[in-house]
């Protein structure tokens, strides 16, 4: 059994900023990456017109492709890939970020075939939906600690809206700046005891922070839909579709139709007053992969 890409799509959240998502596929593995720009004051490694998170996501995609010729467990795979990426960062960076929160980082999810087994593993908040032959959907989702951190930050955003400290006409990115200490504190919880897993170069990745789901028979599945949180917002944040509907629409109507629906929801609520968020639109990436004999 191997993996076959049926379709994929990656939309930037803003036209003036590079897309910090990435996707990759090997014969027996596929992965999706959601880069996050560090919360420091400087750019440390990116070239002109890039961001550090863009550099990181592209470098991860390259290194993951090299590491996917043979099966490695999630902790081995991410730890070894991080060592290579960190070495290249140290070689190319103009200076070292001043704090953990200043380093670029990424959420990542991977599916991998190991003999007859199907392995899902992840760091952070990307999502994998797996379709069984009988139509049932299995979900491998976001790290619950990170999800709680994000929910807490959004609760604070809502509170500031309610008190008038953030006026209703303020753009989400400007509103986000008022919560910078809050956001930095959450970033500092990455790869810590009691924190969440992240592909960050500031700290090594503890094996216990890699979330893994093992299915004993890969042949029971027909498709996998891998998504960054910017795309899965259709389900998780906007409640526009269910997991089952998301997968069926991706298969029958196409990922581009779902992406159009995603942006329509966000364009109808540009200030985030209906659906509180820190960006009008996030980078949004999805890939539909078929299991083939």
Domains of the chain, residue spans: 2-292
Residues of the chain with pLDDT under 50: none
Burial class (CB in 10 A: 0-12, 13-18, 19+), 275: middle
| Cα–Cα dist 2/109, whole Å | 18
pLDDT in tens, 205-238: 988 999 999 999 999 999 999 999 999 999 999 9
Burial class (CB in 10 A: 0-12, 13-18, 19+), 174: exposed
pLDDT at position 237 is 96
pLDDT at position 41 is 86
pLDDT at position 263 is 98
CA atoms within 13 A on the CB side of 224: 33
pLDDT at position 178 is 87
pLDDT at position 236 is 95
pLDDT at position 130 is 98
pLDDT at position 9 is 97
CATH superfamily of this structure's domain 2-292: PPM-type phosphatase domain (3.60.40.10)
pLDDT at position 217 is 93
């Amino acid at each position: 059994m191997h993996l076959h890409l049926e379709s994929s799509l990656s939309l930037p959240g803003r036209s003036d900023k590079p897309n910090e998502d990435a996707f990759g596929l090997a014969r027996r593995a596929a992965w999706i990456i959601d880069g996050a720009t560090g919360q420091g004051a400087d750019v440390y490694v990116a070239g002109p017109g890039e961001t550090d998170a863009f550099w990181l996501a592209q470098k991860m995609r390259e290194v993951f492709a090299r590491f996917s010729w043979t099966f490695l467990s999630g902790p081995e795979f991410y730890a070894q890939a991080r060592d290579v990426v960190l070495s290249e960062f140290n070689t190319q960076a103009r200076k070292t970020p001043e704090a953990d929160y200043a380093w670029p980082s990424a959420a990542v999810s991977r599916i991998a075939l190991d003999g007859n087994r199907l392995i899902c593993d992840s760091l952070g908040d990307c999502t994998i939906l797996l379709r069984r032959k009988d139509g049932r959907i299995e979900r491998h989702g976001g790290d619950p600690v990170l999800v709680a951190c994000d929910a807490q930050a959004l609760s604070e955003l809502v509170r500031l809206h309610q008190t008038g400290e953030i006026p209703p006409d303020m753009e989400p990115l400007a509103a986000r700046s008022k919560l910078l200490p809050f956001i930095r504190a959450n970033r500092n919880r990455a790869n810590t005891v009691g924190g969440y897993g992240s592909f960050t170069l500031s700290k090594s990745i503890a094996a216990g922070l890699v979330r893994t789901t093992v299915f004993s028979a890969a042949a029971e599945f027909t498709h996998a839909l891998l998504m960054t949180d910017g795309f899965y917002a259709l389900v998780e944040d906007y409640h526009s579709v269910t997991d089952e509907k998301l997968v069926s629409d991706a298969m029958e109507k196409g990922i581009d139709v779902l992406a159009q629906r995603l942006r329509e929801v966000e364009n109808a609520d540009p200030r985030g007053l209906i659906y509180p968020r820190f960006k009008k639109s996030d980078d949004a990436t999805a890939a539909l992969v078929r299991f083939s004999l």
